[in-house]
Amino acid sequence: MANKKTLRQNEIVTLLRESPSIRVNELAGTLNVTTETIRRDLDELTDKGLLERTYGGAILRMEREPGVNVRHQLLLREREAIARQTVKEIKGATHLMIGSGATTVHIARYIAAEMANLTVIVHSFGVAIELVHNPTIRVLMAPGMYSATEGANHGEHTLRFLEKFWVDFAIVSASGLSLEGPCDALIDAGEVYATMISRAVQTVLAADQSKFNLKFPSRFAHWGEIDLLIADARPTDRLATALERHGVNLRIAPPRQF
């Protein structure tokens, strides 16, 4: 017969299957135990490979990256913190390229609220929609083959369009941060990000801690091609060593407590 801890941990996994993400305080209240007990449970479940720890909570570890509509519901505080820091880092820019993804949609929202008189080249409809709320921002939408799972255009026409421009910053996210460099679950998306990086004076990579040490099929850059990584937590030792060895600047943007 399962003991109390096993039953509680099974219940945690069940709750996370029902909700995209959940925080320590919510779990403690639902299961009527202390936050310290929940943190120990989350650590054990993470060690077993079932969860990914986040700032103040956890999400289920997934075998493959979900579509962008699902990702929009995850790690909201972490993405907000990364977005705020990203805007601080690109002040003064006049021309940008922004890749697709849930994190970059948050970044676009902050750019529209806090910056002006920009030209921004995008391939994501979600990013474009956020930017057009600011009438001083000129948005150039790259053509291409539409991907419903990402809400973005990819393919040969997208790449040819991007190759026509130079920008101050390319802002991209990633499905995973491997020791060799950032990578993406979609090969077509990785090709777009690689092209954006090649057309930018500087590259900003925005990625939360759930991406640390994950590998996906499309490695779209070596670490030496990334100027700045903005994350919500400090990378693990081996990843941090790889970043330092290649001269990648690091900014930690912890989520706000409410």
Domain boundaries, the chain: 4-61, 70-252
Q: How many CB atoms lie within 10 A of CB 204?
A: 24
Position 85 scores a pLDDT of 97
Q: Does domain 4-61 have CATH number 1.10.490.10?
A: no
- The pLDDT tens digits of the residues spanning 33-56 come to 998 898 888 888 877 767 766 666
Tell me the C-alpha distance between 103 and 101, whole Å.
6
Rg of the chain over Cα atoms, rounded to whole angstroms, equals 19
> What's the pTM value of the predicted model, to 2 decimals?
0.74
Position 148 scores a pLDDT of 87
Position 236 scores a pLDDT of 82
Position 60 scores a pLDDT of 59
In the predicted model, residues of the chain with pLDDT beneath 50 are 1, 63, 66-68, 70-73, 258
Tell me the C-alpha distance between 182 and 249, whole Å.
14
Position 72 scores a pLDDT of 42
Position 9 scores a pLDDT of 85
Nearest to 251 by CA among 226, 237, 236, 234: 234
Q: Look up the CATH architecture of domain 70-252.
A: 3-Layer(aba) Sandwich (3.40)
Position 2 scores a pLDDT of 58
Position 173 scores a pLDDT of 96
Position 71 scores a pLDDT of 45
Q: How many CB atoms lie within 10 A of CB 96?
A: 25
DSSP output for 125-177 = HHHHHHHTTSTTEEEEE---EEETTTTEEESHHHHHHHTT--EEEEEE--SEE
Position 15 scores a pLDDT of 78
